[in-house]
């Protein structure tokens, strides 16, 4: 009997801890991993991120979302992408000579170099991009309940320019870098730019 009480004294706290951890992961915060170079220089391949499930999504927030059903090349469910939010629902978005414009205002892109802004970004607006999208063809604005995202490394990023918008229901949450394993500038560029 003494052995059983001792065993229960160990098993019950472990079970409660595991259950609590699963609840927190499912409802508050989880961890994601960057896969590929699309968010360089601010995030690198295999970097781990905290993902806050209920954080408010703002302009320049870095988000994690399931790209399956949005990007035709994401053939498996739970294919997580990490990208930066450029357009919120109702926004008009365009690019000219590497400069991004949201609702006619130039976006401060100090989080990437001039080379990264101009190489691969192209000149476009949502309507010209959306002519080749399977969903939301001929869009002028970001539709209600959707977001327009780009990778920071524009010349290699497979992002909203190619397949369209990200529905809110597909978004896991807002990503934040860990304090360790990255420098202050990169932490600022991921964690603090949103407006």
Residues designated as active site: 38, 83
Separation of alpha carbons 184 and 195, rounded Å: 19
Between CA 115 and CA 124, with CA 121 as vertex, the angle to 5 degrees is 145
Render 128-169 in DSSP notation, one character per residue. Answer: HHHTT-SSSTT-SSPPTTEEEEE-SSTTT---HHHH--EEGG
* Distance, CA of 188 to CA of 107 (rounded, Å): 17
Count the helices and strands in the chain (H runs, E runs): 5, 11
Measure CA 157 to chain center: 12
Rounded-to-integer distance, Cα 195 and Cα 193, Å: 6
Cβ-contact 72, 134 below 8 angstroms: yes
**Preceding omega of 188 cis (within 30 degrees of 0):** no
């Amino acid at each position: 009997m003494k052995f059983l009480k001792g065993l229960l004294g160990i098993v019950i706290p472990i079970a409660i801890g595991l259950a609590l951890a699963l609840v927190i992961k499912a409802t508050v915060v989880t961890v994601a991993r960057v896969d590929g170079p699309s968010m360089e220089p601010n995030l690198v391949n295999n970097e781990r991120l905290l993902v806050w499930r209920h954080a408010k999504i703002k302009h320049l927030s870095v988000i994690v979302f399931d790209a399956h059903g949005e990007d035709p090349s994401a053939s498996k469910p739970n294919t997580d992408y990490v990208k930066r939010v450029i357009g919120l629902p109702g926004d008009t978005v365009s690019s000219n000579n590497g400069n991004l414009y949201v609702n006619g205002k130039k976006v401060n892109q100090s989080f990437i170099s001039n080379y990264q802004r101009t190489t691969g970004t192209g000149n476009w607006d949502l309507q010209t991009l959306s002519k080749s999208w399977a969903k939301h063809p001929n869009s002028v604005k970001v539709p209600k309940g959707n977001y327009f995202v780009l990778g920071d490394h524009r010349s290699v990023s497979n992002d909203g320019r190619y397949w369209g918008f990200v529905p809110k229901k597909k978004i896991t949450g807002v990503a934040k870098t860990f304090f360790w394993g990255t420098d202050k500038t990169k932490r600022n560029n991921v964690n603090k730019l949103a407006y």
